[in-house]
């Protein structure tokens, strides 16, 4: 199944892009996807809190993904 990953702030700079189109195995969850994104970050996201939104809605627990989902990974930002 295909999902679109949107990367914000530190995630964008760590993985090198603001969007990733990925083909995942059926049954994959948001937790699986977060692991993949952290690995792509090559250590730069190890100490970064990430919140996840599926189709523009925050989720508090990992959920199974469906074909066509848009998943956003949002870190906190400090600048003011």
Partner 1 sequence: MIITPQELHNWVSKGRSFVAADIRPDEQRHHFPINGLEAITATAENLPPRKKEPLILICQFGVLTEELIFEQNLKNAYSLLGGVQSWEAFQTDKMDLSRWSRQTILTEIGIAGQRKLQDSKITIVGMGGLGCPAAQTLAASGVGNLQLIDGDLIELSNLHRQPLYNINDIGQAKVSVARKSLQNLNEKLTVIAKEIHLDESNAQELLKDTDLIIDATDNMKTRQVIDRTSKAENIPMVYGGLYRFEGQVAVLNHNGSPGYEDIFTAAPTGGDTCAEAGVLGMLPAIIGNIQALEAVKIIIGIKPDLSGKLLLYDGITHETNVINIGGKA
**Interface residues with partner 1 (CB under 8 A)?**
6, 8-10, 12-13, 18, 45, 47-49, 51, 53, 56-58, 72, 74-80
To partner 1, the closest distance from the beta carbon of 25 in angstroms equals: 26
Identity of the residue, 26 or 43, whose beta carbon is nearer to partner 1 in the bound complex: 43
To partner 1, the closest distance from the beta carbon of 76 in angstroms equals: 4
Quote the tokens at residue 47: 């100490």
Identity of the residue, 37 or 72, whose beta carbon is nearer to partner 1 in the bound complex: 72
Identity of the residue, 27 or 80, whose beta carbon is nearer to partner 1 in the bound complex: 80
Burial class (CB in 10 A: 0-12, 13-18, 19+), 47: exposed
CB-based contacts of 8: which residues, under 8 Å, 6+ apart?
Answer: 18, 72, 73, 74, 75
**C-alpha to C-alpha distance for 29 and 14, rounded to whole angstroms:** 21
């Amino acid at each position: 199944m295909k999902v679109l990953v949107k990367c914000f702030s530190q995630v964008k700079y760590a993985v090198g892009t603001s969007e990733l189109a990925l083909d995942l195995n059926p049954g994959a969850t948001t937790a699986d996807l977060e692991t993949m994104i952290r690995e792509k970050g090559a250590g730069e996201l190890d100490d970064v809190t990430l919140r996840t939104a599926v189709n523009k809605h925050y989720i508090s627990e990992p959920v199974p993904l469906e074909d066509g989902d848009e998943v956003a990974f949002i870190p906190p930002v400090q600048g003011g």
